[in-house]
Amino acid sequence: MATSITFLGGAGTVTGSKYLIQHDGKKILIDCGLFQGLKTLRVRNWSPLPINVSEIDAVVLTHAHVDHSGYIPRLIKDGFRGRIYATAATHDLCKILLPDTGYLMEEEAAYLNKRNRTKHKPALPLFSQAEAELSLQYFEPMPFNDRINLPGGISFEFTYAGHIFGAAQVIMKCDGKQIAFTGDIGRMQDPLLYPPAKLTGADFLVMESTYGNRLHENDSVADTLEKIICDTHARGGVIVIPAFAVGRAQALMYYLAELKKAGRIPDFPMYLNSPMAENASGLLTKYRELHRLDVADCDATCNVVRYVRSPDESRWLNEQKGPMLIISASGMLTGGRVLHHVKAFGGDQRNAILLTGFQAAGTRGEALQRGVSELKIHGEYVPIRAEVHTLENISAHADYAEILQWLEECNIGPRRVFVTHGEAVASDEMRRRLIDKFGWHAMVPDHGQTVDLA
């Protein structure tokens, strides 16, 4: 029986992950993510998929980040009626992430319409909060390491991937072939999460390459964070930390709790201004088997910040003076409340903006890393005089050395490897390293390309 894979996203870019497996007339979509970053990528979210979505039999999610799950409400809006399989933690996180994403889309459209700063009359959200909430009824949570049977003789199981709570590798079997999807590969030595489980075999491997051309710094995250906080505090400044609401925010809170407990940072106001991140933090205790923290660590991590819940509180925060620290989403400054904080505090040289990990091309976070003097937010150019730092070593993605070490320990020999979920240069560098080290047949697929898995 013929089996093929079509790369509908995540090919040549680090966002929009969507991989369509077709086998014996059945169609299974692995991940269903939003494109982010460059406008040429973001407009893809508005283009219909080149297939009849009502013919997709199931969606299987590796994890909850919106570049892997955020297109689900639109898929359902366009006619998908199958089941969405995810781990229990991914399901719980999607209950938080998807409605919040819809809310932010509606909020941004309303903001642009109110200020007449849109080329579209009127600006519309890709999907609404209500549509996102409706999509949750299609989810079917599944445990790790259980084989799940799908139509057409296809089966799969979830194995632990690290990265964030609930993140999984997907090991699919069809017609005697094993197709492994790494999803996003976690760090080998992470203070919160365990290392990814070893692959036991793969005829075909679809693997990420976010850091395919980079190594993480060896600097201590705690030491770097301590210095930035203490230096900015001494200036009476405000530290604004854009952070992914799921994963990164909780890691930052853990480090802040450890630094505070050790007396290494001043006792000063610290805020988490992301209802999504607050709700995600509450899952630490529920899913203790998925991470290293004990009950006391969970309590300390969740209580180290003051939670900002309402839009009025968020606006109030922008009127306060330093020293203080604000963690807010989104992590690449693509939207959310953090944009208002950058507008409020980015123009003061006493303040600091601390980026926490990978910034995709075309995002405001990537522009800040390049050292721009102004940033376009809500149709206006905002001056940036605050110090800009990047906390690279807190990334939830394995770098290329960690990936190669992990693959070596897996001791597999795939027939073909598809290198995805990376900027073009990173993916190609990862491809080259796989060929040089293992002699594998590795390729970087094009967007929309279909490959027969013969």
CA nearest to 197, candidates 246, 141, 149, 145: 145
Q: Which residues contact 74 (CB under 8 A, 6 or more apart)?
A: 45, 126, 127
348-402 per-position pLDDT tens digit: 999 999 999 788 888 999 999 999 999 999 888 999 999 999 987 888 899 999 9
Same-domain check for residues 29 and 89:
yes
- Look at residues 349, 376, 394 and tell me which one is the last residue of a structural domain: 394
What's the alpha-carbon Rg for the chain, to the nearest Å?
21
Same-domain check for residues 109 and 175:
yes
Quick one: pLDDT at residue 306? 94
d(CA 403, CA 122): 45
50-91 per-position pLDDT tens digit: 999 999 999 999 999 999 999 999 999 999 999 999 999 999
Same-domain check for residues 77 and 145:
yes
376: tokens are 């376009």
**Three-state secondary structure call for residue 347:** coil
Same-domain check for residues 298 and 426:
no
Determine contact, residues 236/350, Cβ cutoff 8 Å: yes
| Secondary structure percentages of the chain, helix, strand, coil, to 5 | 35, 25, 40
Same-domain check for residues 25 and 71:
yes
- Look at residues 345, 363, 394 and tell me which one is the last residue of a structural domain: 394
Same-domain check for residues 266 and 415:
no
Same-domain check for residues 409 and 379:
no
Q: What's the pTM?
A: 0.91
Same-domain check for residues 238 and 379:
yes
Domain that residue 127 falls in: 3-214+396-452
Taking only the tens of pLDDT, the chain with its 454 residues reads 789 999 999 999 999 999 999 999 999 999 999 999 888 999 999 999 999 999 999 999 999 999 999 999 999 999 999 999 999 999 999 999 999 899 889 988 887 788 776 666 788 899 999 999 999 999 999 999 999 999 888 999 999 999 999 999 999 999 889 999 999 999 999 989 999 999 998 999 999 999 999 999 888 999 999 999 999 999 999 999 999 888 888 999 999 999 999 999 999 999 999 887 788 888 888 999 999 999 999 999 999 999 998 889 999 999 999 899 999 988 889 888 999 999 999 999 999 999 997 888 889 999 999 999 999 998 889 999 999 999 878 888 999 999 999 999 998 999 999 999 999 999 999 999 999 999 999 999 999 999 999 8
Bond prior to 314 in cis (omega within 30° of 0): no
Determine contact, residues 26/151, Cβ cutoff 8 Å: yes
How many CA atoms within 13 Å lie on the side-chain side of 47? 14
Angle between helices 248-261 and 295-303 (to 10 degrees): 100
- The number of distinct structural domains making up the chain is 2
Same-domain check for residues 325 and 441:
no
Q: Which residues contact 315 (CB under 8 A, 6 or more apart)?
A: 340
Same-domain check for residues 315 and 448:
no
Residue 6 dihedral angles phi and psi, to the nearest 5°? -120, 130
- ∠2-85-25 over CA atoms, to 5°? 20
Same-domain check for residues 352 and 242:
yes
CATH of residue 175's domain is 3.60.15.10
Same-domain check for residues 384 and 441:
no
b/e for 426-444, b at 16 or more Cβ within 10 A? bbbbbbebbeeebebebbb
